[in-house]
Amino acid sequence: MKRNAAFFYLVWKRFGNSPIAATCLLTLLTISFGWDSHLCSIVLAASPNSAIQSDKDKFGQLPPNISVELIQNPKSTVQSSKFKIQNPKPPRRTLFEQRKIQNRIDSSLKQTNANMQLVNANLQFGLKLFSNIAKSNGDSNVFVSPTSVAIALSMLYNGASGTTQQEMTAAMSLAGLDIKTLNEANQSLQETLKNPDPNISVAIANSLWSREGFSFRHQFLRISRQFYDAQVTSLDFASPDAVGIVNQWVDEHTQGKIVRIIDRLEPNDVLFLINAIYFKGSWTNPFDAKLTAQQPFYLTNGTSKQHPLMSGQGKYRYHENQQFQAVRLPYGRNQLSMYVFLPKKDSNLNSLLGQLNPQNWNQWLSQFKERKGAVKIPRFKLQYEIELKNALTALGMKTMFDEAKADLSNLTSEKVKVDSVKHKTFVEVNEEGTEAAAVTSIGIQVTSAAPTTEPFTMIVDRPFLCAIRDDRTGTILFMGKIVNP
């Protein structure tokens, strides 16, 4: 029982009141109390995770002897959950049955640990990638999807070997995750992220577009289909319709927000590996459009421009220190949120980016507290495009781009290299909510060779950092540096 209780605490602490945690809890409670308990009633205190879904559907299909009661604390916006397990005179299980149940627990422990490892790895990789891009783009807007890039590279990882795979392991912080576990964790994570509630739409899609007649490893294609639900298509690259066919898939899977990822096909192109992510979420507390007003937004060159700032008042989860102010703006039923970080006037965005690492990120988020306050943030809409070759090389992925050294022997028996990693995003933030999309395309070519309770005011009228985060898993779907909205 001690082992089971420790496991439940670990899961709830990391995932909060989520289907993953609920499933693990119910399994453990059934096993722990089911043998000789007639009735067990347990009340869970408010989860340390700030985003808790408020409907019973989050617990999935329950066994007939288990009921869930949601309890609202009148002094808190957080709900807790009461589980009742009724099992009159349960039968004694044989040693074989007990071992079978224990094996299921061990399997659940292993999978949950793998999921947490992947989320942590993606956080480390995503923050490194974003910081590199943001610093190298100077005073330009940046908006990327670390999750889209990570999923696309994870698919490619199955085709890499030798030094190429070792470099990817280090750069993507995948040490300790064998390739089978990585694929299973990616499959689980993608399913968790999709459509968390009726007010939020999250769609993730993968595809492989191969040159007709070019041979690829059957295992690589099988893994792409099985774990990444990838659409695998053999295409006549010489056809004038080929570019349009690929771009049509991108258009459809980003709801028309990104209409083109490929401009042309080169003679040496043999494979395009593409990930698309689409997000649309309504604010939990929408901004009143009548309060939106033109106000100065101060640019990095010392000038300013008039720009619409949306206004809101109420209770927000908020954090402030000597370097910045930060506020959490939730979507839908509080499971996904936008986090806005505004450097203090005597600081700047580059200073904040210099502190952006997983340790600081997790510490900052843990210090958000609910406070009354007033918020003004820009209404903005932007498109962003970047070739990630330089950024990935800077993170240590060098040989995949080298025609002499690239080892993609688990992808194909032919000598190939990665020619490009294109990334496109779209985001629109307005009074109703946020819409965002991202596409990552990997092109493969054959080679010729301090707290207070006072109300706060946060006016985002200068460059800022923002992130759209799944608060159940800790996954950063999108992250941006907005210099000129």
123 domain residue, yes or no: no
Tell me the pLDDT band of 107, cut-offs 50, 70 and 90.
Answer: low
* pLDDT number for residue 439: 86
Query: If we measure between CA atoms, which residue out of 291, 309, 307 comes closest to residue 299?
Result: 307
Residue 126 domain-assigned? no
Say yes or no: 76 and 204 in one domain: no
Residue 148 sits in a domain whose CATH number is 3.30.497.10
CA nearest neighbour of 485 among 376, 377, 346: 377
Residue-level pLDDT at 206: 92
Residues 214, 354: one domain? Answer: yes
Residue 63 has which token pair?
Answer: 């066994």
pLDDT for res 71: 47
Shared domain for 155 and 224, answered yes or no, is yes
Per the structure, the complete domain to which residue 49 belongs is given by: 2-92
Which strands make up the sheet holding 200-211, listed edge to edge? 231-235, 200-211, 269-282, 433-446, 416-429, 380-387
Residue linked to tokens 């094996």:
103
Q: Indicate the range of 62-71, 98-107, 287-296, 424-433 predicted with least confidence.
A: 62-71
Measured in degrees and rounded to the nearest 5, phi and psi for residue 147 equal -65, -40
Confidence band, pLDDT 50/70/90 cuts, at residue 16: very low
- Backbone phi and psi for residue 196, each to the nearest 5 degrees, phi listed first: -70, -25
Shared-domain flag, residues 54 and 164: no
Give me the percent of the chain exceeding a pLDDT of 70.
75
Query: How do 464-470 and 336-343 pair as beta strands?
Result: antiparallel
Task: Tell me what pLDDT residue 50 has.
Answer: 39
Helices (DSSP H) in 172-217: which residue ranges?
Answer: 179-193
Answer yes or no: do 160 and 57 share one domain: no
Name the domain count of the chain.
Answer: 2
Residue type, 33: F
Of residues 380, 210, 206, the one with CA closest to residue 292: 380
Residue 129 forms part of a structural domain: no
What's the whole-number mean pLDDT along residues 97-118?
A: 66
Same domain, 144 and 16: no
pLDDT tops 90 at residue 174: yes
Q: Quick one: 361 and 418 in the same domain?
A: yes
Across all residues in the chain, what is the average pLDDT?
81
DSSP letters for 392-410: HHHTT--GGG-TTT---TT
pTM of the predicted model, to two decimals? 0.77
| Residue 46 and residue 145 in one domain | no
pLDDT at 75: 44
69 is a domain residue: yes
